[in-house]
């Protein structure tokens, strides 16, 4: 009985070659004749090569879409950081995509600057939280508003606290703040009293117009004490630090946003 010689299997490279020749116009019979192969084998492997190529293209499309989505998520994370910086609020460093972005660029100065940013924001929040209490104590110690309050102007102290707190924050930012000469507005009421406003801060209705002078004097005196106060000087230092950190952070974010692709890999990468 004659020995059956088993032909070697068709390699992927060969069937891909047949597919290209077929798509260029060469029929399976001609390919079979030229390569001395059974035409059924040629047809089978041309179809197999076509299926493999379609699957590869489909996978590539899925991967491309996944990568685009991943980079889009990272860019949105960078945009979110920029938004928080613009609002001078804490930046959440523990969200998953933030951790992913950090894995992509572990040596970036962004992360140390963000830690410093959050620490500085917390210090500002803490200091701004105690400032109104200090101002309220200063007003109580001064005592000149007590008589005005006893005549029914209950909102005077609260307005003074808000206005003076605003002043300290404005000075700490390097702004001029409210000016006594131009920002105090007084209008008469139908009841014969007056209504006073200092910038956006309303002191409500006052029974006597002379109360305006007293309030102005109190505000001016306490403003003069607040300007050199440790709270104002510390807040000024913190705001300056926050501004410098914001510039450094935005420099890194600008590169990410303009490149639109982040180098490196993370646990959330599709590959």
Q: Are residues 138 and 60 in the same domain?
A: no
For residue 94, being part of any structural domain is answered with no
Tens-digit pLDDT profile for the chain (271 aa)? 455 556 778 888 988 888 899 989 999 899 888 988 889 998 998 888 888 888 888 888 988 899 899 999 999 999 999 999 999 999 999 989 999 999 999 999 999 999 999 999 999 999 999 999 999 999 999 999 988 887 777 789 999 999 999 999 999 999 999 999 999 999 988 877 889 999 999 998 888 888 999 999 999 999 999 999 999 999 999 999 999 999 999 999 999 989 888 888 999 998 7
For position 102, what pLDDT does the model report? 95
Domain range for residue 193?
A: 119-237
For residue 199, being part of any structural domain is answered with yes
Q: How many domains does the chain divide into?
A: 2
Q: Are residues 142 and 229 in the same domain?
A: yes
For residue 48, being part of any structural domain is answered with yes
For residue 128, being part of any structural domain is answered with yes
How many CB atoms are closer than 10 A to CB 215? 24
For residue 113, being part of any structural domain is answered with no
Strands 201-206 and 194-198: antiparallel
Q: Are residues 148 and 210 in the same domain?
A: yes
For residue 2, being part of any structural domain is answered with no
For position 4, what pLDDT does the model report? 55
For position 6, what pLDDT does the model report? 64
For residue 211, being part of any structural domain is answered with yes
For position 5, what pLDDT does the model report? 56
- Extract the tokens encoding 73: 């998520």
With beta carbons less than 8 A apart as the criterion, state whether 222 and 142 touch: yes
Spatial CB neighbours of 177, under 8 Å, sequence gap ≥ 6: 166, 167, 170, 171
Calpha distance 70→228 (Å, rounded): 51
For position 239, what pLDDT does the model report? 97
């Amino acid at each position: 009985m004659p020995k059956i010689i088993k032909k070697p299997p068709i390699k992927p490279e060969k069937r891909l070659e047949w597919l290209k020749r077929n798509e260029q116009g060469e029929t399976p019979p001609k390919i079979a004749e030229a390569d001395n192969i059974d035409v059924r084998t040629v047809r089978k492997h041309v179809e197999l090569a076509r299926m493999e190529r379609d699957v590869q293209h489909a996978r590539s499309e899925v991967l491309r879409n996944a990568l685009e989505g991943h980079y889009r998520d990272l860019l949105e994370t960078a945009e979110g950081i920029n938004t928080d910086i613009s609002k001078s609020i804490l930046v959440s460093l523990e969200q998953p995509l933030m951790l992913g972005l950090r894995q992509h660029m572990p040596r970036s100065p962004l992360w140390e600057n963000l830690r410093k940013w959050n620490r500085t924001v917390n210090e500002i929040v803490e200091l701004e939280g105690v400032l109104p209490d200090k101002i309220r104590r200063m007003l109580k110690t001064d005592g000149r508003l007590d008589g005005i309050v006893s005549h029914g102007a209950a909102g005077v102290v609260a307005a003074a606290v808000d206005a003076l707190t605003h002043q300290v924050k404005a000075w700490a930012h390097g702004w001029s703040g409210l000016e006594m000469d131009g920002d105090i507005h007084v209008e008469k009421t139908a009841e014969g009293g007056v209504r006073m406003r200092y910038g956006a801060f309303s002191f409500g209705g006052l029974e006597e117009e002379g109360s305006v002078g007293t309030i102005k004097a109190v505000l001016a005196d306490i403003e003069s004490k607040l300007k050199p106060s440790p709270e104002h000087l510390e807040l000024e230092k913190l705001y300056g630090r926050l501004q410098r950190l914001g510039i450094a952070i935005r420099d890194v974010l600008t590169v990410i946003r303009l490149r639109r692709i982040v180098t490196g890999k993370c646990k959330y990468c599709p590959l």
